[in-house]
């Protein structure tokens, strides 16, 4: 299995002391610059989180298109787009355009979304669940239409007054292969199995909305195994991909110790608690000397099972800091679990 690593930026911006991203513009521009730096290092994936009603990245497609125009081989993704908020056909147009600019490098993570500050914010965007439909059902319905649209399905009827006859219309532009690069963000074993049945790639983060008492990495590895079994049982033949997220901070300088030294102790174990009333398990952070966290990650059951590991980066510390963090991971951490730098240019 080819191992890939990438960064996942939350795109935070706030005008507070020490922030390198006091404004939205600086957060966006620095995301582009970090993608360029990561590609130079040989990192495989540059991904952004998507949130609404907060000071973070929102609509990802202008940003992904800009990143695509400034890079040539790094994959570009989202982790994840909240499908409750999306117009599926408009999203299909934007995604295809960005994917064409990137020459087929988009890896789009979509899902129901995560806890947020708004009360039914998707309704403010004009998306109301049908009678008897939950917000999770709404996200899945939007996803089904989006996937059909990017695969070229007819989603509207022509006007015979304009075309001379009645026939189906698909959205344009169309980017071949994009449909195979859609990932569902899963927070449980049951939704992972559903993802496999649907034929999507699997994206799993540092949070699972269930707890069986076993360590986080083992529970996540079980989630991955159930996904792959469901994928095969549904008859899908394409080799699926699986990504997981990890918080990885190598401590090599006094600056690192000042920012994260205390965290090395506080976040070195899984956390268990209630999230939206559900018992959930949060994965530990990997903070410390590079050789120590390299050994820990090499022994992580889910790191072994996944093909892609996304590293959450502290984007408010700026491009130089995060590029150095990624370089340290590339040189001293990721080779321990089988990763090699990406030097292949996309044709």
- Tell me the domain boundaries of the chain: 4-337
**Can you give the pLDDT at residue 109?**
98
Query: How far is Cα 83 from Cα 127, in angstroms, rounded to an integer?
Result: 10
**Can you give the pLDDT at residue 80?**
96
Q: How crowded is residue 235: how many other Cβ atoms within 10 Å of its Cβ?
A: 8
Q: Which helix (H) or strand (E) holds 79?
A: strand 75-82
Average pLDDT over residues 174-181: 98
Judged by phi (left if over 0) then psi (alpha if -120 to 50, else beta), residue 130 lies in: beta
CA neighbours closer than 13 Å in the CB half-sphere of residue 149: 21
115-169 pLDDT tens trace: 789 999 999 999 999 999 999 999 999 999 999 999 999 999 999 989 889 999 9
**Can you give the pLDDT at residue 248?**
96
Homologous superfamily of 4-337: Luciferase-like domain (3.20.20.30)
pTM assigned to the model: 0.94
Average pLDDT over residues 35-48: 98
**Can you give the pLDDT at residue 344?**
65
Average pLDDT over residues 73-84: 97
Average pLDDT over residues 52-57: 94
9-31 pLDDT tens trace: 999 999 999 999 999 999 999 99
Q: Which helix (H) or strand (E) holds 243?
A: strand 242-246
Residue of 273 and 341 predicted with greater confidence: 341
3-state DSSP: the chain helix, strand, coil percent, rounded to 5?
40, 20, 40
pLDDT for residue 265 is more than 70: no
Q: How many residues does the chain have?
A: 347
Average pLDDT over residues 39-48: 98
Residue 232, φ and ψ in degrees, nearest 5 = -65, -45
Q: Beta partners for 111?
A: 82
**Can you give the pLDDT at residue 312?**
97
* Residue 264 banded pLDDT, cuts 50, 70, 90: low
Judged by phi (left if over 0) then psi (alpha if -120 to 50, else beta), residue 203 lies in: beta
315-343 pLDDT tens trace: 999 999 999 999 999 999 999 999 999 87
* Residue 273 banded pLDDT, cuts 50, 70, 90: confident
Q: Which of 16-20, 177-181, 262-266 has the lowest mean pLDDT?
A: 262-266
| Mean pLDDT estimate for the chain | 94
Angle between the 319-332 and 290-298 helix axes, to the nearest 10 degrees?
A: 60
Angle between the 61-69 and 24-41 helix axes, to the nearest 10 degrees?
A: 40
pLDDT for residue 346 is more than 50: no
């Amino acid at each position: 299995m080819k191992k890939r690593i990438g960064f996942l930026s939350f795109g935070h911006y706030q005008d507070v002391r020490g922030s390198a991203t006091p404004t939205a513009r600086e957060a966006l521009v620095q995301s582009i610059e970090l993608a360029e730096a990561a590609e130079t290092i040989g990192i495989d994936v540059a991904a952004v989180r998507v949130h609404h009603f907060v000071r973070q990245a929102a609509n990802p497609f202008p940003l992904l298109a800009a990143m695509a125009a400034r890079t040539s081989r790094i994959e570009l993704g989202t982790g994840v787009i909240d499908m409750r908020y999306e117009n599926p056909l408009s999203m299909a147009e934007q995604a295809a355009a960005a994917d064409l600019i990137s020459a087929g490098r988009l890896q789009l993570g979509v899902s129901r979304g995560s806890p947020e500050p708004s009360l039914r914010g998707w309704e403010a965007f004009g998306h109301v669940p049908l009678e008897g439909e939950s917000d999770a059902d709404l996200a899945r319905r939007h996803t089904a239409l989006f996937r059909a649209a990017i695969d070229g399905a007819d989603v509207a009827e022509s006007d015979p007054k304009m075309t001379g006859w009645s026939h189906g219309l698909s959205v344009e532009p169309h980017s071949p292969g994009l449909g195979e690069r859609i990932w569902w963000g899963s927070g449980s074993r049951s939704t992972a199995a559903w993802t496999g049945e649907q034929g999507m790639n699997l994206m799993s983060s540092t949070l699972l909305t269930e707890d069986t008492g076993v360590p986080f990495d083992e529970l996540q590895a079980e989630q991955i195994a159930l996904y792959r079994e469901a994928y095969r049982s549904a008859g899908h033949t394409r080799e699926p991909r699986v990504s997981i997220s990890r918080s990885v901070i190598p401590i090599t300088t006094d600056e690192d110790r000042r920012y994260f030294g205390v965290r090395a102790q506080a976040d070195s174990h899984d956390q268990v608690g209630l999230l939206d009333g559900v018992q959930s398990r949060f994965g530990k952070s990997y903070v410390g000397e590079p050789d120590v966290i390299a050994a820990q990650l090499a022994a992580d059951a889910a790191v072994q099972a996944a093909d892609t590991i996304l590293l959450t980066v502290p984007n408010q510390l700026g491009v130089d800091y995060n590029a150095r963090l990624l370089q340290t991971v590339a040189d001293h951490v990721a080779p321990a679990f089988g990763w090699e730098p990406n030097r292949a240019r996309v044709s």
